[in-house]
Homo-oligomer: A and B are copies of this chain.
Amino acid sequence: MPQQKSEHIPRATIQRLAVYVQVLENLQREGTEVISSEPLAKACNVNASQIRKDLAYFGEFGVRGVGYYVKNLIASITSALGVDREWRTVLVGVGNLGKALLNHKEFRLRGFNIVGAFDCDPFKIGEEVSGLEVVCTKRLREMIGDNGAEIGIITTPPERAQRAANHLVEAGINGILNFAPSRITVPDHVNVEYVDFFHHLYALSFNITHPNSK
């Protein structure tokens, strides 16, 4: 539906779009049906023209003199982001974090279905977690051939993240969400996102330590 108009879209825009969806969903839950860029911007802590510019990359979703219909805008942004569909994912590294994620029902709710759990620890292989049997990481390739997953989630210790990534890439995955506290190297066509909340604690620490530098 909403067609991407120009070629390059700033990464920051994508991040903000995710924020807009979050805020819009909360507004919807509270019963707001229409909102204009000004109050939405306030709620998202950004500039109003920023929002309009971000949306303009994908189309015209507002009504002049009125604002944006919350329901429509959510649909438009999720469509632009490509999250208006199911994404099949597999998880590598069934430790504490891995298990927590496997049991996290929000994944399915948001359309990110975890359809495979892998680990290289013989003691974990065969174990059942949240309805999935833990399979040896070496079998990733054959399993993904079957289940057609496109996104891999890495929850291994840092020293095993690169190996996990290699297996995922070889299995034909094209997106990786890496929770391991280490950088990984992948071919150009594979997208990697890193999640590490200590980075956020570091940012807090810096901002509290240097309150003037805001």
* Chain A contact residues, CB within 8 Å of chain B: 4, 7-9, 11, 14-15, 17-19, 21-23, 26, 29, 43-45, 80-83, 87, 96, 100, 103-104, 106, 110, 112, 150-151, 158-159, 174-177, 179, 181-183, 189, 191, 193-213
Cα distance, A154 to B183, chains bound together (Å): 27
Residues of B within 8 A of A177 (CB): 197, 200-201, 204
Residues of B within 8 A of A202 (CB): 14, 17-18, 21, 81, 83
Cα distance, A106 to B174, chains bound together (Å): 30
Give min CB distance, A203 to chain B, whole Å.
5
Knowing that A22-B196, A175-B204, A193-B200 are A-B contacts, what are 14 other residue pairs whose CB atoms are under 8 Å apart, sorted by A's residue number? A4-B210, A21-B202, A22-B199, A23-B182, A26-B158, A81-B205, A81-B209, A82-B210, A112-B201, A150-B208, A177-B204, A189-B211, A191-B204, A194-B200
B203 touches A193 (CB 8 A): yes
A208 touches B7 (CB 8 A): no
Give min CB distance, A204 to chain B, whole Å.
4
A15, A45, A194, A199: residue with the most chain B Cβ atoms closer than 10 Å: A199
Give min CB distance, A78 to chain B, whole Å.
8
Give min CB distance, A39 to chain B, whole Å.
12
12 contacts between A and B (CB under 8 A): A8-B213, A18-B202, A18-B203, A22-B182, A22-B196, A26-B158, A26-B183, A43-B183, A100-B100, A174-B211, A191-B207, A191-B208
Name the contact of A26 in the complex, choosing from B11, B21, B44, B182 (C-beta under 8 A). B182
